[in-house]
Copies of this chain bind each other. A is one copy, B any other.
Amino acid sequence: MTEPTRRDLGGRQADRVDALVEATIAELRANGYDGLTVRNVARRANVAAATAYSYFGSKDHLVAEVFWRRLAALPTVSIDRRGSTLTRVSAVLRELALLVANEPELAAASTTAILAADPDVQRLRDQIGAAFNERLVAALGDDAEPAVVRALNLALAGALLQAGMGYFSYTQLADRMDEVAGVLLGANR
């Protein structure tokens, strides 16, 4: 295999990828998004720059991967049938909102990174969007109105964006989304 392909982790190369991801988090905490450089991350992970680039094509790819891993690590939505739909949706939204809430640097970086044009990032973005949608649908139940699902997805995207831009905190984000869910679900139920 001449080309590293950057996708299927060979197994023991996963270690290198893990090291890079860890180093990204450390670097973000230490120097923030602006100070983040593929080369810096590589150095911190004791890896040559060229090697890092063979796994991650850009700093945004690194950060997006961090976010994706956190999201993927979330446990599956538990469908607590006793609570109301709104309660479940609230819980899911809160969970998503707080993924990066207590690490401001990471939060801001994620927002920016996920929007990058880089095709590697685009792949992750699609995955992230799908995961968001999946969790929303799980919370809403099978009988959810498609229009409500779409509206919630849009609002969530908008809210994450605005939080990332600093218009409000990620904690407030959760409250805002609660409000949106309340209005939307109050509508047809």
Contact = CB atoms under 8 A, between A and B. Distances in A.
Interface in A140-189: 145, 147-148, 150-151, 153-159, 161-162, 165, 167, 176, 179-180, 182-184, 186-188
Contacts of A37: none
A154 B162 contact: yes
Nearest to A159: B154
A117 interface: yes
A14 interface: no
Given A112-B117, A155-B155, A183 B179 contact: no
Contacts of A176: 150, 154
Nearest to A114: B165
A184 to B, nearest CB: 6
Scoring A158, A159, A179, A188 by chain B CB atoms within 10 A of each residue's CB, the highest score goes to A158
B183 A188 contact: yes
A156 to B, nearest CB: 7
B180 A154 contact: yes
A176 to B, nearest CB: 7
For this chain, the copies found in one complex come to 2
Contacts of A155: 151, 154-155, 158, 180
Nearest to A34: B117
Contacts of A179: 147, 150-151
A182 B147 contact: yes
Contacts of A184: 151, 183-184, 187
A88 interface: no
Interface of A: 33-34, 112, 115, 117, 122, 125, 129, 145, 147-148, 150-151, 153-159, 161-162, 165, 167, 176, 179-180, 182-184, 186-188
